[in-house]
Structure 1
Amino acid sequence: MKKRTVLLSALTLTAGLASAALVQNTYKKGLKIAMLPKIINIPYFTTTDNGGLEAIKELGGIGKAVGPSDGGASSQVSYINTLIAQRQDAIVLAANDANALVPSLKRAMAQGIKVVTFDSDVAVEGRQIFINQAKSDGIAKGQIELLSKLMGGKGEFAILSATPNATNQNTWIKIMQDELKKPAYKDMKLVKIAYGNDDDQKSFTEMQGLLQAYPNLKGVISPTTVGVAAAARYLSTSPKKGQVMLTGLGTPNQMRSFIKDGTVTAFQLWNPGDLGYLAAYAAAALASNQVTGKEGDTFTAGKLGKYTVGKNGEVVLGPPTTFDKANIDKFNF
């Protein structure tokens, strides 16, 4: 009886180990996955790329990050075509345009290459899964709510966006405009939407222009990491420092000095490294035939745990964090 009990325990343990091994082995090894950000060599996308490459390494895949030095859709199309020719198993990209990239991405999918978008989406027919950093209405409403708090609920403000065709930016701005129709924001007036094209110097110049053109300006929202850092840099040496409330979406490492010198009181963002990490795992799940991108599909993304695919192939990373003097030194990205 004792021997049989020991044998059963051993069999149970073996079965458990085998089951765990099966879970670990559901992702194919040696997958070729390419990260394609909107623009290379800016801190935000360097961080998303590094998160993606970390995930690909964990999965035993072959990862690389490539991309244009400008925010044009045609530049991304060129890279997509090259990745198709290289027969990548998956392309993970942040789109510079919702529609212009679709023909190339459809060609990639027709050849068996899986396509995952993150940060900024394309039309649904151009990819299988979109990794959204947070719910779009949550981001947009959170930005308006934060600026309203900083401005005391009244005054003129402007938006300093990225490119005019950026899907995520335009979605957020539309929601912000709708939000402003609510009674709570009746004393706030959006006077201008400016575009810095995710270029540091262009964003710097646009911020300068906003302060000159609107002498009564009380606030600026820049929902782009390049824009908010460039705007803060201009504001930090301007007589308007402390008078114009600047917020937006930025990384703690970019914004730390501006928080500490009082240029900026608070801003928001999700963890971009986790965004890239989750997107790479989604790509691997597709390429390993774990999921197809249909609503209800589930997959496990390493340290981030289990995720479920929602409507139209959307997967949401999670809510953004508000950073200020009290917590900014707790973050390093």
Structure 2
Amino acid sequence: MNARLRTHGRRTTAAVAAATALGLALAGCSGTSKDDNDDKGSGGSAAAGANATADPNAALKTGLKLAFLPKQINNPYETITGEAGLAAAKEIGSEGKRVGPSDANASSQVSYINTLIQQNQDAIMIAANDANAVCGPLKQAMAKGVKVVAYDSDTAKDCRQLFINQAKSEDVGRSLVQNVAKQVGYKGKIAILSATQNATNQNTWIDYMKQELAKPEYKDMQLVKVAYGDDDDQKSFQETQGLLQANPDLKAIIAPTTVGISAAARYIDGSQYKGKVVVNGLGTPNQMRQFVKNGTVEQFSLWDPKKLGKLAVYSAAALASGQITGAEGEKFTAGDLGEYTIGKDGEIILGPPTVFNKDNVDQYDF
């Protein structure tokens, strides 16, 4: 999420006994100049809490310049998130834009951050391709008063004020294993089809998957490989093919990325493995609907990427307006999403993911 659509691109809101699922970008015209906002805090979440004082009664500023920087500008999941964010920016009287690279390489976002700094953005919302590669320029941005909100995939903690997490990472990772285990009867070989090797969210979920698999009840299940499709549809398709060629007795593929799960499902759908190999993970209803209805995929998970984009905008605006600084325990209201409380290390949880199957997939359109 991603870890989603071209997807790693890919995902919806909600609960997961099996969890799973979805990233993007915005910006606009500010009614105030950067000099007018010298009271903006700088530094990471800890620094923000130390150097600035929150005023929860402060009015939400209008005319803010808010910029979304997704992992990939053409990632379907990120597009859904970004477009919802643009709409939210308009709601609060600000303007937004989406900018970003066409690939998910570790350093591909750096030049965009530098440009956004030069444009005097009030806030940058970033889904990081690499937790550390973007840190230098993001710290420069914060030093100049630009607020930084990570969403979907985090940066290092001192390189942003807030991180909007789709769901509790532990819940996502463990639930994916729990759901797949039930589907394969707690026996057999499984593989993970991830996005990029450096994706923070993917690696966190995978760590929790491995911890879950270490429990006694999974002793007859074996993780044979973690493959990387780089959030590229064709590479993810080829990696799926490679996993099955190397392990013809494979029982399941877990793809915590919307791009990966749809590519894996497409391969399985046209192969001899249909009905024999379980595909589960994080995806969006629109990308996965056909595979659920034709029996290739029984279930998948995701949160609502539209709500993720909206929450990112409201949190960035609250920072830029001085309502919050990023300190633990601070509260703010995100429109009709309701009130949110900032947790440890500046983390905000959107909410639990939803599990989609043939009974509910037609109820969602994203």
The TM-score normalised by the length of structure 2 is 0.84
1:243 correspondence with 2:276: yes
Bigger fraction of residues in helix: 1
TM-fit CA distance, 1:24? 10
TM-fit CA distance, 1:263? 0.6
Cα separation, 2, equivalents of 1:332 and 1:303: 19
TM-fit CA distance, 1:73? 2.4
1:195 correspondence with 2:228: yes
1:73 correspondence with 2:118: no
1:108 correspondence with 2:134: no
TM-fit CA distance, 1:25? 7.5
Q: Among 158, 162, 167, which residue is 2:195 paired with?
A: 162
Q: Among 279, 297, 306, which residue is 2:312 paired with?
A: 279
Cα separation, 1, equivalents of 2:74 and 2:200: 21
Cα separation, 1, equivalents of 2:58 and 2:147: 19
TM-fit CA distance, 1:179? 0.7
TM-fit CA distance, 1:62? 1.2
Q: Deviations over 1:109-135 (max 9, x none)?
A: 000000000000001110000000000
1:293 corresponds to: 326
Q: Among 154, 162, 172, which residue is 2:205 paired with?
A: 172
Q: Deviations over 1:18-39 (max 9, x none)?
A: xxxxx99811010000011000
Moved >6 Å (runs of 4+): none
Which stretch of structure 1 is more off in the superposition, 291-300 or 36-45? 36-45
Percent identity at matched positions? 63
Paired residues of 2:101 and 2:109 also in contact (CA < 8 A)? yes
1:94 corresponds to: 127
2:338 corresponds to: 305
Cα separation, 1, equivalents of 2:241 and 2:222: 19
Q: Deviations over 1:233-282 (max 9, x none)?
A: 11100000010000010000000000000110000000011011101110
Partner AA of 2:171 in structure 1: G
What is the 5 A alignment of 1:121-140? Answer: 121-140=154-173
- Unpaired runs of 5+ residues, structure 2, are 1-55
The TM-score normalised by the length of structure 1 is 0.92
What is the 5 A alignment of 1:135-146? Answer: 135-146=168-179
- Unpaired runs of 5+ residues, structure 1, are 1-22
1:55 corresponds to: 88
3-state SS of the aligned residue for 2:205?
Answer: helix
2:76 corresponds to: 43
Higher relative contact order (CA 8 A, sep 6+): 2
Cα separation, 1, equivalents of 2:267 and 2:284: 17
Which stretch of structure 1 is more off in the superposition, 220-229 or 145-154? 145-154
Q: Among 265, 268, 285, which residue is 1:252 paired with?
A: 285
Partner AA of 2:96 in structure 1: G
Number of residue pairs aligned between Structure 1 and Structure 2: 311
Cα separation, 2, equivalents of 1:149 and 1:44: 27
3-state SS of the aligned residue for 1:73?
Answer: coil
TM-fit CA distance, 1:42? 2.0
TM-fit CA distance, 1:202? 0.4
Partner AA of 1:128 in structure 2: Q
1:318 correspondence with 2:351: yes
Larger Rg: 1
Partner AA of 1:46 in structure 2: T
1:223 corresponds to: 256
Partner AA of 1:86 in structure 2: Q
Q: Deviations over 1:40-68 (max 9, x none)?
A: 12210011101211211111001001111
Partner AA of 1:49 in structure 2: G
1:267 corresponds to: 300
Paired residues of 2:58 and 2:323 also in contact (CA < 8 A)? no
Paired residues of 2:122 and 2:320 also in contact (CA < 8 A)? yes
2:40 corresponds to: none
Partner AA of 1:209 in structure 2: G
Cα separation, 1, equivalents of 2:189 and 2:236: 19
Cα separation, 2, equivalents of 1:326 and 1:62: 39
3-state SS of the aligned residue for 1:80?
Answer: helix
1:232 corresponds to: 265
Partner AA of 1:166 in structure 2: A
2:180 corresponds to: 147
